[in-house]
Structure 1
Amino acid sequence: MEGIGLSDDSARDDGTGADDAVLLFVGGPLDGRVEIRAARHGEPLPTVTHVHLHNGPKVVHRYDLQPLGEQAGVYHLRTSARKSARDESTAD
């Protein structure tokens, strides 16, 4: 087996690298999901939109990123602005 060299990439055979971001989702249909964003894809997006299609109406959820250091973050479910506007109009 002489002459066979191993590259440095073989140490990362699990698909994750030291510069990859670990992202956790809190709330909504993605609650508890953990995602590894590869460093080659750049910085995590500030907002992620999740669209659920089924036999009924389309359901859209938006998650906003709260960074936790350089390589971790939490996406929190955005509360509906329409719902809070409705609540304000009924308060009068």
Structure 2
Amino acid sequence: MGSQTYLARFVGGPLDGRWETFSGSSGSPLPTVTHVHLHNGPKILHHYDLRYTAEQGWEYRLRPVP
């Protein structure tokens, strides 16, 4: 089975507006991406959850902080 290529846009947080192209050997992209932000201080984690909409296509949307 071949791998499929995906294009996803990041929405919110420090990666807002960036695009990610990736291939998934299982035929699906990662459901969650974690971004580690280091800026002369404590480590800050941002979690992006994948979703698909007919209007926007694939998006990694910033997970709200609980």
Task: Give the gaps of 5 or more residues in structure 2.
Answer: none
Aligned pair partner of 2:40 in 51, 55, 65: 55
TM-score normalised by the chain length of structure 1: 0.58
Q: Which has the higher contact order (CA 8 A, sep 6+)?
A: 2
TM-score normalised by the chain length of structure 2: 0.78
Superposition deviation, residue 40 in structure 1: 4.2
Letter in structure 2 aligned against 1:23: A
Identity %: 54
Moved over 3 A (4+): 39-42
Whichever structure has more strand as a proportion of its residues is: 2
The DSSP-based 3-state class of the residue aligned with 2:14 is helix
Task: Give the gaps of 5 or more residues in structure 1.
Answer: 1-18, 82-92
Larger Rg: 1
Q: 1:43-71, CA deviations, whole angstroms, 9 ceiling, x for partnerless residues? A: 211111000112111111000100247xx
Q: How many corresponding residue pairs?
A: 61
Q: RMSD between aligned alpha carbons?
A: 1.8
Whichever structure has more helix as a proportion of its residues is: 1
